Amino acid sequence: MNRRRARGFTLLELLIAVAVFAVVSAVAYGGLQAVLTSDAQTRLRGGMLAELQITLAVLERDLRQVAAIDLRDRFGDRQAPLRYSPLATDPELELVRTGNGGTRRLRRVAWRATEEGLERRIWEVVDPGDDQEPLARIFLATQDRDGVREAPGLELRFVVSGPRGEEVLDAWPPLRAIENPAALPALVEVVLDVPGLGRIERHLSLPDGS
């Protein structure tokens, strides 16, 4: 009775098996890497959307609670409760808003775009020109994308009702408001340029706006 001789793998067969395993491993690793990358991007985008919602909620609350009152600077001159000029060296939206206690708890608040992100500052003292240091908080912090730091941008426009209909202004207060510095626009258009999310626009009506 003949017995078959035990036969092992040849070197060529081993090389083919190793090559097939390497190809399968590379494909599997590439797929896993793609899934991990996609998951990381989804988490990052979700975090950015959540931060954007918080930012808009706080900014909208500040604008909707703006107080139409007369202010005085350190020289006693009248000031508007809402101020913004895109031509300033560091454009900044500054306003006086009511707090939880109504007009008895007024707060002066400012928003500006910085290299670190969108900064909100708040003072306990209402009248501008005081030397008190404000409390500051960064919203929509600057992102590092591919080695490039991308900061958010902030644009504002103000809508008022005029004799020819609605008028859109880039700054507030307008020159004609000198007779009534406490006047407010009817609508504020807020445009945020958020890296990774694009341009976000909100139209907010103000109390006592004209």
Statement: residue 139 has pLDDT above 90: yes
Residue 173 burial (CB < 10 Å; 0-12/13-18/19+)? buried
Alpha carbons 207 and 184: distance in angstroms, whole number: 8
Higher per-residue pLDDT: 69 or 44: 69
**Is residue 172 packed enough to be buried (19+ CB in 10 Å), middle (13-18) or exposed (0-12)?**
buried
* Domain positions in the chain: 46-205
For 172-208, write each residue's pLDDT tens digit.
Answer: 988 765 567 678 899 999 999 998 888 999 999 887 6
Q: 83, 97 in Cβ contact below 8 A?
A: no
With 90 as the cut, is the pLDDT of residue 104 above it? no
